[in-house]
Chain A
Amino acid sequence: MEEVRFNVIIIGGGLSGLAAAYTLAEAGQEVLLLEKGDYCGAKNVTGGRMYVSLIRDFFPAIWAKAPLERAIVQEELCLMSPGSSILIRYNDADIASEPYQSYSVCRAKFDKYFAKQAEKKGALITVKKKVDSLVFKDGKVDGVVAGGETLYADVVICCDGALSLFAQQAYLQKPLNPKHFAVGFKEIIELAPETLENRFNLLPGQGAARLYMGDVTEGKFGGGFLYTNKESVSLGLVLGLEALCQEEPRTKAPDLLERFKKRPEVAALIAGGQTAEYSAHVIPEGGYDHLSKLFGDGILVAGDAAGFSINAGITVRGMEYAMFSGYIAAWAAIKAAGTGDYSAESLSVYERMLADSFLMQDFKEYRHVTESLNHKRFFTYYPELAGKIMHGLYAMPNGPKARITPTLRRSVGVRNVPDMLLKDLPKVVKL
């Protein structure tokens, strides 16, 4: 039987895989992308927001008709303590004007659209096809086995997501450690556009992003999020796996989400809404020190599979890194095709190109941010302190009311101050 050979086979039709397929096809390479879902996007989950600004220029033709939900023009942060919360709303004319820096997005819609654009460029996309394993020849990755069929390629790009099964098969990634992962889970709750705009103080078509910290996770490492879509909100939680399993109180993940939805501040926002879908996915949060090895003989790794996502507290990013790394992986494969050399040494150009880019600069810059954030005080003490201070200011007692300064002093607790300054300031300055 004649062997079926492509220039490049891509495992997985998420953002990194589709970005690679689009770029390779545009450059005239024969590329096959294999996706196990019914369509690209069928297995893909986001919390909800894509920072488009950094990647817009790499795919200039796709944005005009892309099924993005709402431009995020309003940034909000909600500090929650058990019985109170403080909402900070940030409006900024710069963020709220075109070209918008970020959009809410639903992956099933966006990825399906992006796949269509890649196909128009000439990429071959086969859905409903699960890759079973990599094929090696003389130590070099030479293709994949999918549904009993062997398909060959000069280069395989692993874009199979956070579980990184194929990078592990090629010994590029170590077994995954719960310390370096979080899980995000969310509901899509449908609301009429006008209702949604009224509740968030938005003009027609505009969008808001709201992050929740503190009691929302019962003080565990993580937070809540709400993104406004066109006709729904994405409402969910992200929790560090270790915190979720080991910190008290031990509450089941789905119960935490129900508890979140029942908070009066949240219940008012989703009242009358209909849940349409419930989704979840793990998120790599190991940062720079726990990225996979990015290349080997005949193989490249991109997107979540490589570990390309960053939790920096109030910004959580990954999708733009996925698209950018897919784009760079494609160019590394194109360069290798020019010389006919698909060895690890030749493909190492991928890592060098990434090293010079915003992506690796971000990863180096944010190297210690996630671990700095992973401190109980940030998720319990400070949100509660903020709540106590506000309570002291606003609550009217049945009796004499203290002035502001003594109220503040009592809330903070003088003995805590040196401790906080010494221990937490160095963490804060790393953010």
Chain B
Amino acid sequence: MNGGKESLNLKAKLGLNVFKENKNFHISVNPGKENDPRLFYAVLACPAGLYSVNDAGAVELSQDGCLECGTCKIICSDEVLTWRYPDGATGVQFRFG
């Protein structure tokens, strides 16, 4: 309903974190698994809101703001996602944690 407002809020929240650029995509959907129902679970469960449903009804994934929490890896399983940690010295760097 007010998803637009919340996600704006979420972007601002993620903007408070320290992220170091990671040039290699560390999460990708395996070929042929683009419509797996578990990807829709990730839309609900990703704390950073990085999974979203596009106009065509498919799940899209963005990696900007990834907290590396592992939720999508466990929900979607290795069958659906290729999930690696970002390279050393890249990705989120928590100052509080």
Contact = CB atoms under 8 A, between A and B. Distances in A.
Interface of A: 36-39, 41-46, 106-109, 111, 127-130, 146-147, 161-163, 165, 175-178, 181, 183, 185, 187-188, 232, 234, 239, 241, 244-246, 250-255, 257-258, 275-282
Contact of A43 (B13, B47, B68, B87): B68
Given A175-B78, A258-B9, A282-B70, A130 B87 contact: yes
Contacts of B87: 36, 130
B14 interface: yes
A128 B41 CA distance: 32
Contact of A185 (B47, B74, B85): B47
24 contacts: A37-B89, A43-B91, A45-B97, A46-B97, A109-B96, A161-B70, A163-B73, A185-B67, A185-B69, A239-B45, A241-B45, A244-B44, A244-B45, A245-B75, A253-B46, A254-B13, A254-B49, A275-B13, A277-B16, A277-B97, A278-B47, A279-B94, A281-B67, A282-B71
Contacts of A185: 47, 67, 69
Contacts of A41: 94, 97
Interface string B61-85: 0000001111101110110000001
Given A42-B93, A130-B87, A252-B43, 12 more contacts: A129-B88, A183-B45, A183-B69, A251-B44, A252-B3, A253-B47, A253-B71, A254-B47, A254-B49, A275-B13, A277-B94, A281-B67
B93 A175 contact: no
A253 B10 CA distance: 11
A252 B96 contact: no
Contacts, number: 151
A300 B45 CA distance: 31
B89 A128 contact: yes
B16 A252 contact: no
A45 B67 CA distance: 10
Given A108-B95, A178-B75, A183-B69, A245 B41 contact: yes
A180 B41 CA distance: 16
Given A183-B47, A245-B44, A254-B6, A277 B96 contact: yes
Nearest to A180: B74
Say whether chain A's binding surface is mostly helix, strand, loop, or mixed: mixed
B29 interface: no
A397 B97 CA distance: 47
A269 B43 CA distance: 30
A139 to B, nearest CB: 23
B8 to A, nearest CB: 11
A46 B96 CA distance: 9
A165 B3 CA distance: 34
A111 B94 CA distance: 11
A245 B44 CA distance: 6
A392 to B, nearest CB: 33
Contacts of B91: 43
B74 A37 contact: no
B94 A275 contact: no
B44 A279 contact: no
B45 A37 contact: no
A309 to B, nearest CB: 14
Contacts of A130: 85-88
